[in-house]
Amino acid sequence: MNGTDSTVADASSSDDPGFEPLAVEDRYPPPAARPDPDRDKGWFRRLLPLLTAHRLTFGATLACGVAGLTLQVSVPMVLRHAVDVALDQRSGSLEAHVWALVAIAVAAFGLRFAYRYLLFWVAFHIETDLRSIIYEHLTRLSFSFYDRVAAGEVISRANSDIRSIQLLLAFGPLVGLSMLSFVLAVGFMLSIHVPLTLLAVATMPFVFVLGQRMRDLVFPLSWITQGRMAEVAMVVDENLSGTRVVKSFAAEAEQIALLSRAAQRLRWSATALVDARARFNPLIEALPRLGMASILLYGGWLAIEGRIGIGALLAFSSYVIMIAVPFRMLGFMLLQAQRAAASSQRIFEILDEVPAVADRPGARHLLEPTGRVEFRDVRFAYPGADPDAPPVLDGFDLVVDPGETVALVGRTGCGKTTVARLLCRFYDVDAGAVLLDGNDVRDLTLASLRHHANQVTDEPFLFSESIRDNIAFGRPDAPLDDIVQAATAAQAHGFVCELADGYDEVVGERGYTLSGGQRQRIALARSLLANPRILVLDDATSAVDVQVEEDIHGALRDLLADRTTIVIAHRLSTIALVDRVVLLEHGSVAASGTHAELLATEPRYAAILASGDDGHDGNGAS
């Protein structure tokens, strides 16, 4: 059967097919910009589009900062004039100077408040944009990415690393403004006394050299520290998620030791980082103070000799304090800049990851499929698998007609679960093709394909939400009557009604407040409510007792009558539900027929049923 215009449509021609349902109204705008995709550019240049997207606010921020700084730098000059007036004209009035200082203080306060408010507003908005961008990208990445990257590592990059960038964006301009104050202060100092100014800045080249050496040492240590923070987060995440396994094997001490080793590695790198700062920061801060001591010595002698006024010396001393401020902050900002550089590169490692499975250019929406599934000479091995090992599927051929229910049976590692994953295009085939209504699934949009083809696994995942929300995950706007109907078909309505809050009962993390069989029934109800045209049941009732399973099968016989269903079966009771059984061996179809036919003619099939082989192969495939 070939694809026809009645089953597929160009993606651009369908305004809102509703393949990706939204549970909440989108109240917030999308990120104003995205990082530069050019990998040859430096990390800051790649982040620059996020800054330029807020250029108006950022421009107003800088304007307020520069105006406030100008007023601040002018204060010593007002003081100089006031002191000179008081000393030269003993009876001179200082009222004008006092009011000028009050006006400067009020205006500087308002400008600096506006500057800091707008600066942190921009920094937090950029942080929000980055979080949205990286989370959206994570949702687009393929299963192969999550097969090789630990969840704790991803969480660390999406949280602490983004936070490091936000801190630099928030405090970096403050240091930049301090450097501007240095330039303005030096300009005023030169207008007062040139030799004294040169003496004040004589230590600054040494500060610059020390800062460069500190940067070269701190950057690799920052990279290592961020990575080891991710290791600790990964250990904690795995132990929280797998706490039942840890406790069941009484392995708490072993896991604490594992965390201790990770923490020791983090302590080493963090201590080395602190040591680098401890060696350079005191020198960076102390050198400007030497300049201050020299100025007091030389400037005092000039004042005694009458070659400089007292007011000028007072103003000069104030300016020396101003030029020392940037260098007191320099060590912190060098460390923060290196940490942000390391963090940004770790983030870009994720953002530069290209999804292995994505919509092709010109991909079409699958609108009203009849449900014919075909695997044509499929060959597949999981990414990262041993190249010398045989593929999971090798020359796999299978046709499932619309409305047919087929069971896949085979020993561990024969590729049963892999078949379901390729159908839903969690992975792409290495060779051959998977077709739906004659259309290669790679030519269909992922959203429409997964809308019509749904999988219920033997280890269902429930969100820490109400049972109602978990069942309605695929149809967030579904009325309660439809939810109850789906739960009833999955034999979940009875135990749900016995809960204190019924369908509003909030299950624990991953649904662990429910039993394994209850979780499976909720997951089955979730798929039934979504009403996919093609349903894959991957041992979906393995944790349910026989009586409940019979009740589920009784309800499913009517529900599965008009949809294509693939059952990955390990129980004889489950096989009784299907029209045809397909025996898999070594990644290909070994035999096909009804249960009775295979039992009578295929000894391998009888042996598998007798052994109860229900294991899983590598990567969770079975």
Pick the residue with more confidence: 114 or 200? 114
In angstroms, how far is CA 300 from the centroid of its own chain? 59
In this predicted structure, what is the pLDDT of residue 5? 45
In this predicted structure, the answer to whether residue 277 has a pLDDT above a threshold of 50 is: yes
| Least confident segment among 123-132, 278-287, 545-554 | 545-554
What does the alpha-carbon distance between residue 127 and residue 61 come to, in Å, rounded to a whole number? 17
The answer, yes or no, to whether residue 316 has pLDDT greater than 80, is: no
Please, which residues have CB within 8 angstroms of residue 367's CB and are 6 or more apart in sequence? 6, 7, 8, 9, 14, 17, 448
Would you say 418 and 380 are in contact if contact means Cβ atoms under 8 Å apart?
Answer: yes
Whole-number pLDDT of residue 11: 62
pLDDT digits (tens, 9 = 90+) for 573-619: 777 778 899 999 888 998 998 888 888 888 888 888 877 654 444 45
Average pLDDT over residues 314-320: 76
Estimate the crossing angle of helix 95-140 against helix 310-351, to 10 degrees.
10
State how far the Cα of 114 lies from the Cα of 66, in Å rounded to an integer: 11
Report the SS3 class of residue 93. Answer: coil
Question: What's the pLDDT tens digit per position in 86-110?
Answer: 665 555 567 777 788 888 888 888 9
Q: What percent of the chain has pLDDT over 90?
A: 7
- 383 has pLDDT over 60: yes
Taking a C-beta distance cutoff of 8 angstroms, is the pair 274, 339 a contact? no
Q: Is 510 helix (H, G, I), strand (E, B) or coil?
A: helix
How much of the chain exceeds pLDDT 70, in percent? 86
Confidence of residue 464 (pLDDT cuts 50, 70, 90): confident
Q: Output the pLDDT for position 1.
A: 42
What is the pLDDT at residue 547? 67
Is the overall model pTM greater than 0.75, yes or no? Answer: no
pLDDT of res. 435: 93
Average pLDDT over residues 496-503: 88
Q: What is the mean pLDDT of residues 210-214?
A: 74
Average pLDDT value for residue range 61-78 = 83
In degrees, rounded to 5, the angle at the alpha carbon of residue 223 between the alpha carbons of residues 218 and 225 is 90
Dihedral sign, Cα of residue 343, residue 349, residue 355, residue 360? positive
Taking a C-beta distance cutoff of 8 angstroms, is the pair 567, 417 a contact?
no
pLDDT of residue 330: 65
- Predicted confidence at residue 4, as pLDDT, reads 45
The arrangement of secondary structure in 43-351, i.e. its CATH architecture, is Up-down Bundle (1.20)
When pLDDT is cut at 50, 70 and 90, the band that residue 432 belongs to is: very high
CB distance 388 to 407 below 8 Å: no
CATH topology of domain 455-531: Rossmann fold (3.40.50)
Q: What is the pLDDT, as a whole number, of residue 301?
A: 82
Say what the pLDDT of residue 441 is. Answer: 92
Q: How many CB atoms lie within 10 A of CB 251?
A: 15
Reduce the secondary structure of 290-313 to three states and give it as a string.
HHHHHHHHHHHHHHHCCCCCHHHH
Same topology for domains 43-351 and 455-531, yes or no? no
What per-residue confidence (pLDDT) applies to 374?
A: 93
Residue 336 to residue 342: CA distance in whole angstroms: 10
Higher pLDDT, 247 or 452: 452
| Per-residue pLDDT reduced to its tens digit, 42-53 | 888 888 898 888
**Domain residue extents for the chain:** 43-351, 455-531
The helix (run of H) or strand (run of E) holding residue 333 is helix 310-351
Average pLDDT value for residue range 428-451: 91
pLDDT at 157: 78
Q: What is the mean pLDDT of the chain?
A: 80
Q: State mean pLDDT over 361-387.
A: 87
pLDDT over 50 at 14, yes or no: no
| 392-427 per-residue burial string, b: 16 or more CB within 10 A, e: under 16 | bbbebebebebbbbbbbbbbebbbbbbbbbbbbbbb
So what's the pLDDT on residue 8?
67
The yes-or-no verdict on residue 79 having pLDDT over 70 is yes
Average pLDDT over residues 232-249: 74
